[in-house]
Amino acid sequence: MHVQHRARRPGAARVTLLTEGTYPHSHGGVSVWCDQLVQGMPDLDFDVIAVTGTGREALAWDLPPHVGNVMSVPMWGTPPEGRAPRGRALRRLSAAYERFLTALVDPTAEAGFPPALYAMAHAAADGTLSAFLRGDRAIAILAAAWNRPGLAVRESRPTLRDALTATSLLEHALRPLAAEPPRHGVAHAVSGGVAVLPGLAGLHRHDVPLLLTEHGVYLRERYLGYRTAPYRWPVRAVVLGFFRLLAEESYRRAALITPGNRYNRLWEEQGGADPDAIRTVYNGVDPAAFPPAGPEPAAPTLSWAGRVDPIKDLETLIRAFDLVRRQLPDARLRLFGGTPRGGEAYRERCEALAAELGHADAVTFEGRVDDIKDAYAAGNVVMLSSISEGFPFTLIEAMSCGRATVSTDVGGVREAVGEAGLVVPPRDPSAMAAAALELLGDAPRRAAMGEAARLRVIEQFTLRQTIDTFRAIYLELASDVKPFTGAKELVPAGPAPVGPTPVGPTPVGPTVSVTGSLAG
């Protein structure tokens, strides 16, 4: 673990941001959001515990002086230093790990998850957990736990290889427990999942209140990602059981949950969160920083901005563009955004699809752009094709720039757009193409929609509203006053959310990697 230290100011309120794959080591929507909070509150002191890939990632943001300690917690690469426990400590940890695993595979034993997790957190602090999980005893405990009579996972005939794989995945996922947890102020997890682990440890050991903000629903994205993971069902059952019970523990223990949209709160309530502890706080932008984009391009152009990642579903966008180009042969699709490490194969697959459909000349991957406003100005219509989102910055930024948008109906998208854009089902190229053609063929409607979109941002989704809300939350949590009693939302309400996407009885496999799944 790498720690960067800076001097801190006596008396200033302290907030520890808990991140995964985002701020301050990468760009993207959640990183932008974190930077907005930090830059907007120079009167507070911030620390960061950042779950990263290898721990060697460079800082991607210029940190202001009131950001103190930045601790990088690598999920992969060299395991944490430590030794395997012995004697009584080994017996205690073995018993805790057995309760932990039993909770993951046996619905009647789920109450054992929290005490087992905190016992393992103590072992991680002592430097013994990772070494224990890399040993034969941990594998043997799992093999015994999921082969008990009557368990559904037993029917899948788990193998030794399954046990090795599942144990390794759990060892990596639990590494953030070894980070020094927050001791003072407020711990603010900016996603669910493994980023919350140091916050739960800080709450358990030092009574540091935990604030949880979910932009996308972390558990839902694990379900989506594991559908294509190269693991057998026993491995998926164990890992998804861990993420589900971790989400439920996070929801129960958080002093306040601030989802970025009202859709998320349905998942959180379903996971056991107290409805009175949930307050929707929308993302915001500075309308002055995203002024009207100006003249449209001469050729009919669709633009997209984001990170090149399977969750953004660029393949559906490219297939939709294929249908658009059959009607408008001179149409173009311009894709702006970086490819995260490990995502090169997905970008190559998208480029190959565009070439296979005969559009290699019209679909351009333009990489990161110095000024994101240029990405929005590049299109007559700005597209969003994701299969999962929270309250996407690219959408409200494009709206602030006065561009008409076509977006998939996921997360808080419908709340953001209202009547100021077109919303289509995810993974539906025909519907996406029809909406794009509708707007490309009607310049007056595009202009009116863009004006309405900018007005909506100015009225409801400004950066000042977001910062003021979180400053009040931080100060009240730090002073041990229960914040915002009552059920009133903190921002103007949008349209009623659609319920959680149904997940079948055997949801499967990881996002492309555990780290970086919410990078923007």
Beta-ladder partners of 4: 70
- Predicted pLDDT of residue 5: 58
Looking at the chain, the whole-number percentage of residues with pLDDT higher than 70 is 90
- Predicted pLDDT of residue 6: 57
- Predicted pLDDT of residue 452: 98
The closest alpha carbon to 323, from 431, 400, 250, 200, belongs to 431
pLDDT tens per residue, range 291-302: 999 999 999 999
pLDDT tens per residue, range 161-206: 999 999 999 999 999 999 999 999 999 999 999 999 999 999 999 9
- Predicted pLDDT of residue 340: 84
Considering 7-16, 349-358, 475-484, the range whose residues carry the highest mean pLDDT is: 349-358
Tell me whether residue 519 is exposed, middle or buried, using C-beta atoms within 10 angstroms of its C-beta: 0 to 12, 13 to 18, 19 or more: buried
- Predicted pLDDT of residue 488: 40
Cα–Cα distances in Å, from 270 out to 252, 278, 314, 500?
11, 12, 30, 9
Lowest mean pLDDT among 267-281, 343-357, 500-514: 500-514
Residues 50, 336: Cα–Cα separation, whole Å: 26
- What mean pLDDT is reported for the chain? 90
Q: Which residue has the higher pLDDT, 114 or 227?
A: 114
DSSP secondary structure code for residue 178 in this structure = G
Residues 231, 169: Cα–Cα separation, whole Å: 11
Assign domain 2-78+179-277 one CATH number from 3.40.50.300, 3.50.50.60, 3.40.50.2000, 3.20.20.120. 3.40.50.2000
Mean pLDDT of 102-131: 97
pLDDT tens per residue, range 474-520: 999 998 644 444 334 444 434 444 444 333 322 323 333 333 332 33
Question: Residue 19 in 3-state DSSP?
Answer: strand
pLDDT tens per residue, range 37-74: 999 999 999 999 999 999 889 999 999 999 999 999 99
Contacts of 467 (CB under 8 A, 6+ apart): 36, 37, 40, 41, 284
Residues 187, 198: Cα–Cα separation, whole Å: 9
The closest alpha carbon to 23, from 40, 44, 37, 43, belongs to 37
- Predicted pLDDT of residue 479: 87
- Predicted pLDDT of residue 8: 62
Contacts of 502 (CB under 8 A, 6+ apart): none
Domain 301-460's class?
A: alpha beta
The closest alpha carbon to 512, from 195, 53, 167, 49, belongs to 53
- Predicted pLDDT of residue 29: 80
Domain boundaries, the chain: 2-78+179-277, 87-173, 301-460
Mean pLDDT of 414-436: 97
Residues 109, 111: Cα–Cα separation, whole Å: 6
Axis-axis angle for helices 443-460, 393-400 (nearest 10): 110
Are 254 and 210 in contact by the 8 Å Cβ rule? The answer is yes
- Predicted pLDDT of residue 258: 96
Whether the model clears a pTM of 0.85, i.e. scores above it, the answer is: no
pLDDT band for position 266 (cuts 50, 70, 90): confident
Lowest mean pLDDT among 223-227, 243-247, 445-449: 223-227
pLDDT band for position 388 (cuts 50, 70, 90): confident
Neighbour tally for 78: CB within 10 Å: 8
pLDDT band for position 288 (cuts 50, 70, 90): very high
